[in-house]
Amino acid sequence: MPEDRFLPPSLAAEARRVAWTIVNRLDDDDAVHQAVRRTANVAGVAPDWWGGAKLYGGNAGHALMLRYASRVARTSADRWRDRSRDILLRAISSTSERPPAHGGLGEGTAGLALVLDEFAADQPGYLRVRRQADRGLLQQVARASRGGSAVDPAAYDVVTGSAGILGYLASATTLDVDARVTAAGLIDGLVRLYGSPPGPPLKTTETCPDRAVDLGLAHGLAGHLAALSLAWNAGLRRPGQRAAIRSLASYLRDVAEEDAWGRIWPRRTPIDDSLPDQLPHKPMTWCYGAPGICSALLDAARALDDPDLTAAAVMSFESALRRALHGDGEPRTVCLCHGWSGLLTICHKFAEHGGSQNARAALTPLTERVLSHCSDDQALIVRTVHVPGTYVDSPSLLDGAAGVPLALWSVSTSVPPRWRRALLIG
């Protein structure tokens, strides 16, 4: 498969060059530690905000990036494979002092298990370690189900909650009986949020403490839809699950708004008249807004075998592309979470699996936007927005530099981007 099948050859070559420049900068421990300290000072957070075994913001995420570096490399694969192993061991050893506080995907055990599963794809010996992580994860899920809050939105989201854990289990190369039982429980828990038979989201001040329903992929309904759909597509199926998928997809389509560019979603929709009908801030990113929601709708369309839903997801995503590239929806930064790299990654999914020629055509300008944010003069090559007007040097996978090479390799190499499962975008 040619490496430049999505991009003009010269642009693909530049994308690979910049990706490697970022990787080499992130492979410098001193540069990373200095960047972490600077970011802590600017953002006013504790110096240990980065590190440990976290996938989204620590060594597990770097190990994932370096493992993909070993797959992309032509002449130095062994070096990067060894280096990825060293960073993975660093992540694992950190759990003795800083054990994951929960099972979540972003900062908990599910994220570390996902990275171990990626390593096992190349070297099956890692599967034993992954199964050990799985056992710890299943215990954490069991404890949370006994003592967790039934209405805490974070308990169900992608970053820290059950949707992210289910997304990992649905993507794992193998699952034992206990893991399948746990996955079934997670599915049942998400399905229960929508009643019996499944209907619209439960709009109460308990389930929505800020009086609005979160619609996004990272923390809201689109994350639930993605997790349930990916599980169904992976053969993890429970009573009521398909009906919940249909109900969620219908609700997300119903609450979309229209503007000059097409369909658009706010971050949240109000549950009553105490808030305006149209809440502000309608981003074009993975975490919130049309791109992440459309990705979940595309997965739901596959689960439901619904060509009309596929067409709606594609049409809405193409609207998001036009708005981001030519309108007022331009991301302010470059990272995966809320920047150009996340939009590029989802666009690649629609080009490959959504049959969208407009998405395929947009890969070139989106790659150019990502590259425009990269500079050798910056500590980690890319900087990310902390708050409007304030930039930080973050080494993180989700909201920093480590995710950018993965996005660039997805469109400039022939290496399959299975890493996207870390974001529940399939």
* Contact assessment for residue 384 and residue 334, using Cβ atoms and an 8 Å cutoff: yes
Phi-psi category of residue 215: left, alpha or beta, with phi > 0 → left and psi -120 to 50 → alpha: alpha
Q: What CA–CA distances, in Å, run from 134 to 101, 172, 399, 418?
A: 15, 10, 26, 19
The rounded distance, in Å, linking the Cα atoms of 153 and 140 is: 18
Round to the nearest angstrom and report the end-to-end CA distance of the chain. Answer: 20
Cβ atoms 367, 411 nearer than 8 A: yes
Q: Please report the pLDDT score of residue 274 as a whole number.
A: 61
pLDDT in tens, the chain (426 residues): 566 689 999 999 999 999 999 999 999 999 999 999 998 888 888 878 889 999 999 999 999 999 999 999 989 999 999 999 999 999 999 999 989 989 999 999 999 999 999 999 999 999 999 999 999 999 999 998 876 544 577 889 999 999 999 999 999 999 999 999 999 999 999 999 887 766 666 655 556 666 788 899 999 999 999 999 999 999 999 999 999 999 999 999 999 988 888 999 988 887 765 655 555 556 789 999 999 999 999 999 999 999 999 999 999 999 999 999 998 878 889 999 999 999 999 999 999 998 999 999 999 999 999 999 999 999 999 998 877 778 899 999 999 999 999 999 999 999 999 999 999 998
According to the 3-state scheme, what is the secondary structure of the chain? CCCCCCCCHHHHHHHHHHHHHHHHHHCCHHHHHHHHHHHHHHHCCCHHHCCCCCCCCCHHHHHHHHHHHHHHCCCCHHHHHHHHHHHHHHHHHHCCCCCCCCCCCCCCHHHHHHHHHHHHHHCCCHHHHHHHHHHHHHHHHHHHHHHCCCCCHHHHCCCCCHHHHHHHHHHCCCCCHHHHHHHHHHHHHHHHCCCCCCCCCCCCCCCCCCCEEECCCCCCHHHHHHHHHHHHHCCCCCCCHHHHHHHHHHHHHHCCEEECCEEECCCEEECCCCCCCCCCCCCECCCCEHHHHHHHHHHHHHHHCCHHHHHHHHHHHHHHHHHHHHCCCCCCCCCCCCCHHHHHHHHHHHHHHCCCHHHHHHHHHHHHHHHHCCCCCCCCCCCEEEECCEEECCCCCCCCCCHHHHHHHHHHCCCCCHHHHHHCCC
Whose tokens are 């080009």? That residue is: 351
